[in-house]
Structure 1
Amino acid sequence: MARLFGTDGVRGEANVALCPELAYRLGWAAALYFGEKVQQNPLIIIGRDTRISGNLFESALATGICSAGGRVEIVGVCPTPAIAYLARTHKAAAGIVISASHNPFYDNGIKFFGGDGYKLPDAVEDEIESLVRRIEAGEKLPRATRENIGRIKRRKEYVREYIDFVQSTAGVQLNGLKIVLDCANGAAYDCMPRVLRRLGADVHVIHAEPDGVNINEACGSTHLESLQKTVLADGADIGIAHDGDADRCLCVDEKGEVIDGDHILVMCAKDMMEKGRLAGNTVVTTVMANIGFHKAIEKAGGRAEITQVGDRYVLENMREHGYRLGGEQSGHIIFSDFSTTGDGLITALQVLAALKRTGRKASELSALMKSYPQLLVNVVVASKEGWEENEAIAVAIRAGEEELGGDGRILVRPSGTEPLIRVMAEGPDQAQLETICRRIADIVKKEQG
C-alpha cells in the first residue's frame, strides 16, 4: 500500500482521492497521537485556503479530533505559515493546514505542523498513518464520551495576531513605494494588503476576490503575466506574487522582469551580510539553483550549502547548522530568524525592506545575479531503477560536462512522483544546452525504456 503522506502532507482531488471520510480519520488519529505524546485533550489549530472544498475538510477534521477528545480552534482562511506561527505561540499540540498550495482549485490537501511550528518528521506521520489504517480496518480505538468530548472554537482574532507579527518583521516603513500585489485569489487576499498598507505602501491589489474556484487561476506566483502587465501599466516600483497558500513569493521588477527565488535569495543574503545577520555568510539552497546564483553569492563574499530538492531538506540543513536563510528557485524562502517554515509574506517584506534601505530599484538589486540559461527535459521511462550505474548514461553526462567546461553544469535526477528522469543543463549558450540535453535524454530513453 502506498504511503498516505506525500512530500507535503496528504493531497489529492477533493472528493475523489481525498474524501471527508479520510479527513475525519486523520483528525481522529491525530487527536489520539498528540493526546498520548504531547498533551491530554490536545489543542489543534486549523486553517485553510480559499478552495471550495476547504469547509468540507475543516468540518470533517474537527469532527474527528473532537471525537477523540481533542480541542479544536478554527482560524478560517489564512496563509499556511500563519498556522505554524499560531501553533507555536498558543502552545498547541499541533496545527493543520487545509490547502493544495499552487495546485488547481479541485485539489486539496491536509498538512500538519507540530507544536513547535515545524512540519512533522516522517516518523510521526507514519505513526498517524498507522492509526488511520487501524481505524479503516475497523479496530475499536478510543473515543471520547460525556464531558471529555472535544469542543470547537472559532478564532478569527488569530489572523490579526499573525498580521501584527508579519508587520513587525519589516524593520522599516514602506512609505513612497508603489507596489502591485497579486494574491492568487488565495490565502493572502486579506492579510497581505493590510500589512502593506499599515506599513505605508501605495498598494494596487489584483486577484484578491476568491470565489472558491478561482484560486491560482491564471494568477499568482505560477502565472505572473498579469502582474507583469499591471506593474508596467501602473509604473510601479515592484510587483509581489504569492501562491494559493502564501508560503511562496516571487517578484517582478519595475521593468516587468521576473525576480525568481534565486534572485530573492541573493538580494536578501547581501542585505543580511551587510548587517552582519547572515550566519556563516551562508545560504542554503537546492541542486536546482541556477549556476548564476552560486557565482553571485561567491562574488558577494558568501557561500552556499546545497541540498536535494524540497524545502524540508533546506530547513533540515538550516536547523542542523544554525543557518538563517535558505530557499528554492520557486520562491519558497525560509528566514529562520522569523519563521519555522517558508512564509511568502515575510519574504516579500524582506525584499521591500532591502529596496527601501538601499534606495535602489528592484532591477538593480536583481542584477546582483545574472541567470544562466537553464534547460530541463523530462524523459518518460519504463524504469527509474539503475540509471545511476548505467555506463552509457554516465558517459553521455561526462561528455556534456566536458563540453560545458567550468561555465555550466548538468544535473540528472529521477522524479519523486512520476515515471520520469529529468535532464537539466545550464550554461551561457542556449543552443548548446539544447544539443547536450537532447543527446543525454535520448540515451536515457534508450537505456531505461
Structure 2
Amino acid sequence: MSRLFGTDGVRGLANKVLTAPLALRLGAAAARVLTGTAAAGSSRRPTAVIGRDPRVSGEMLSSALAAGMASQGIDVLDVGVLPTPAVAFLTDDYGADMGVVISASHNPMPDNGIKFFSSGGRKLDDAVEDEIESMMLELQNERDESGPTGAAIGRVIDESGDALERYLFHLQEAVPTPLDGIRVVVDCANGAASQAAPMAYEAAGADVVAIHNTPNAFNINDNCGSTHIDVVRQAVLDHHADLGLAHDGDADRCLAVDSEGNVVDGDQILAILAVAMKEAGELRKNTLVATVMSNLGLALAMEEQGITLRRAKVGDRYVLADLNAHDLSLGGEQSGHVVIPAHATTGDGTLTGLSLMARMAKTGKTLRELAAVMTVLPQTLINVPVEDKERIHSSSVVADAVAAAEAELGDDGRVLLRPSGTEQVYRVMVEAVTSAEAKRVAGKLAAVVVAEG
C-alpha cells in the first residue's frame, strides 16, 4: 500500500482520489492521534479548527472531515474560507488540540488537499502522519457502534466571523508599521485570501487595488495568482501602483512586482527581509534559511551583507524544520513561501506582503531599489524523464559530468541535479553569469542523464 500523505498533506483529484468517505475516516483517525482521545471520549472535551479555500469540493470534504472528528467526541470550530496560515494561527489562538485545512494551494480547481496541524498550529512530521494512516486501518476493523453517543458526540460550531477578526488583528500586531502612501495591486487568485488580504493591507493604510478577489467555487488559480504573474505585472502598470503582490490559492505564498513590472521572487523577498531583520537585530545568528533551489545570487548577496545562508531541501516543511532545529528567525523558498517564526508557524503570504511594504515605508525606497540588494543569476531548469531515478543518483558517469560542469563554471555558477519527489523525472538546474551559458551547460548535463536513464 502506497503512503497516503505526500510532501504537503493528502492531495488528489477531488471525489476520485480524495473522496468524502476517505475524508471521513481521515478526520476520525487524525482526531484520535492528535488529541489522544479514545473512541469513548475523555473527561476534557478536545477541539479542532477546520478551514478551507473556496474551491467547490471544499464544502464536501470539510463536512466529511468535521463529521469524522465529531464522531470521536471532538468539538469542531469551523472558521470557513481562510488562508492556510490563518488556520494554523487560529489553531494556536483558540488553544485547539489540532487544526485542518482543505486546500490544494496553487493546484487547479478539480484537485484538493487536506493538511493537518498539531496543537500550536505546527505541521506534522512523517512519524505522526504514519500514525494517522495506521489509525485509519484500525478504525476500519472496529464496529460502527464503537464511537461516543449522546452528549459525548462532538459539536460543529460556526466561528467564521470571529476567526477573520482574530487573524486580521494578529497581522496588525505582527506588522504595525503604517503603509500610508503605498499603492498596491493584490492578486488574490480567487482563493482563500480574497477577503482577508485586501482587508489586512487596507487596515495597515495601503491604497489597495484588489484583483481576482471574487471566488465562485470554480475559478481559483484560473489564469491568476502567483502562478500567472504576468496578470499582476500588467495591473501594476495600468494602475500606476508602487508594487503588486500575487498570492496562490491558499495564500501561503507571496510573489511581488515592482512599479516597473519587474518580478521580485521569493529569493529577492528573503534578501530584502533578511537585511531588514539584521538591521533591527531580529535576524537570529545572522542566518537565513533557503533551499537548494535558491538562486546563487542570494548566497552572494547574503555573503556581502555578512549573513550566513543555510540551504534546506525543497519544501517549506524542510525550511521550517531547519528553522526550528537551529532556532532561526527567517526562511523560505524561491516560490514565495516565506516563514517568519516570530509571527507564524508556516508560510504566510499576507504577512510577507505586509512585511515587504513595511520595509518600503520605513526606508522610503522603492521595491526595485530594495530588490537591488541581490543580483539574480540566470537559471536554467530541465526536467528529464527517467525510468530509474536511483540509477541516475548512483551513476559515476553523471557524477563525472557534474564535476566537469562545476569546474567549468567555477565560482560564477552552480549545478544541482536532484530527483523529483512527485514525478518520474530528474531535475537538472544550472546557474551561470549569462543565460546562454546556463542553457548550454544544462543541455549537456541533461543529455548525459538521458543517456544514463
**Which segment drifts farther, 190-199 or 247-256?**
190-199
| Contact map agreement 2:52 2:103 (CA 8 A) in 1 | yes
| Contact map agreement 1:68 1:142 (CA 8 A) in 2 | no
**Which segment drifts farther, 329-338 or 137-146?**
137-146
Q: CA deviation at 1:254?
A: 0.4
Structure-2 separation of matches of 1:70 and 1:149:
7
Structure-2 separation of matches of 1:122 and 1:32:
17
Q: 1:195 is matched with which residue? A: 200
Structure-2 separation of matches of 1:419 and 1:16:
22
Q: CA deviation at 1:47?
A: 0.3
Q: Gaps spanning 5+ residues in structure 2: where?
A: none
Task: Look up the SS of the partner of 1:204 in the other structure.
Answer: strand
Structure-2 separation of matches of 1:111 and 1:445:
36
Q: How has the CA–CA distance of structure 1 residues 68 and 346 changed in structure 2, closer, same or farther, with 3 Å as cutoff?
A: same
Q: 2:9 is matched with which residue? A: 9
**Which segment drifts farther, 385-394 or 281-290?**
385-394
**Aligned amino acid, residue 365 of structure 1:** L
**Aligned amino acid, residue 120 of structure 2:** D
Structure-1 separation of matches of 2:278 and 2:336:
20
Q: CA deviation at 1:191?
A: 0.7
Q: How has the CA–CA distance of structure 1 residues 428 and 127 changed in structure 2, closer, same or farther, with 3 Å as cutoff?
A: same
Matched, 1:132 2:136: yes
Task: Choose which of 371, 384, 392 in structure 1 pairs with 2:376.
Answer: 371
Structure-1 separation of matches of 2:112 and 2:433:
40
Task: Choose which of 372, 376, 393 in structure 2 pairs with 1:388.
Answer: 393
Q: 2:47 is matched with which residue? A: 43
**Which segment drifts farther, 28-37 or 5-14?**
28-37
Alpha-carbon displacement from aligned partner over 1:311-340 (angstroms, at most 9, x marks no partner): 111111111111100000000000011111
**Aligned length, in residue pairs:** 448
**Aligned amino acid, residue 21 of structure 2:** E
Task: Look up the SS of the partner of 2:328 in the other structure.
Answer: coil
Alpha-carbon displacement from aligned partner over 1:353-397 (angstroms, at most 9, x marks no partner): 000000001111111111000001111011011323311111111
Q: 2:273 is matched with which residue? A: 268
Q: Provide TM-score, normalisation by structure 1.
A: 0.97
Structure-1 separation of matches of 2:146 and 2:244:
51
Map 1:267-416 to 2 at 5 A: 267-416=272-421
Matched, 1:121 2:125: yes
Structure-1 separation of matches of 2:207 and 2:164:
22
Task: Look up the SS of the partner of 2:309 in the other structure.
Answer: strand
**Aligned amino acid, residue 72 of structure 2:** A
Map 1:224-243 to 2 at 5 A: 224-243=229-248
| Contact map agreement 2:35 2:98 (CA 8 A) in 1 | no
| Contact map agreement 2:226 2:248 (CA 8 A) in 1 | yes
Q: CA deviation at 1:32?
A: 2.0
| Contact map agreement 1:79 1:245 (CA 8 A) in 2 | yes
Structure-2 separation of matches of 1:137 and 1:414:
37
Q: 2:103 is matched with which residue? A: 99
Q: CA deviation at 1:6?
A: 0.7
Structure-1 separation of matches of 2:87 and 2:216:
22
**Aligned amino acid, residue 100 of structure 1:** A
Structure-2 separation of matches of 1:32 and 1:405:
54
| Contact map agreement 2:323 2:330 (CA 8 A) in 1 | yes
**Aligned amino acid, residue 26 of structure 2:** L
**Aligned amino acid, residue 36 of structure 2:** E
RMSD: 1.3
Structure-2 separation of matches of 1:395 and 1:62:
54
Alpha-carbon displacement from aligned partner over 1:416-437 (angstroms, at most 9, x marks no partner): 1111111100011222222211
Task: Look up the SS of the partner of 1:386 in the other structure.
Answer: helix
| Contact map agreement 1:248 1:344 (CA 8 A) in 2 | yes
Matched, 1:249 2:245: no
Q: CA deviation at 1:399?
A: 1.2
Structure-1 separation of matches of 2:249 and 2:179:
25
**Which segment drifts farther, 116-125 or 263-272?**
116-125
Q: Gaps spanning 5+ residues in structure 1: where?
A: none
Structure-1 separation of matches of 2:93 and 2:175:
19
- Percent identical pairs in the alignment equals 47
Structure-2 separation of matches of 1:213 and 1:390:
45
| Contact map agreement 2:34 2:118 (CA 8 A) in 1 | no
Matched, 1:34 2:10: no
| Contact map agreement 1:184 1:244 (CA 8 A) in 2 | yes
Q: 1:176 is matched with which residue? A: 181
| Contact map agreement 1:284 1:318 (CA 8 A) in 2 | yes
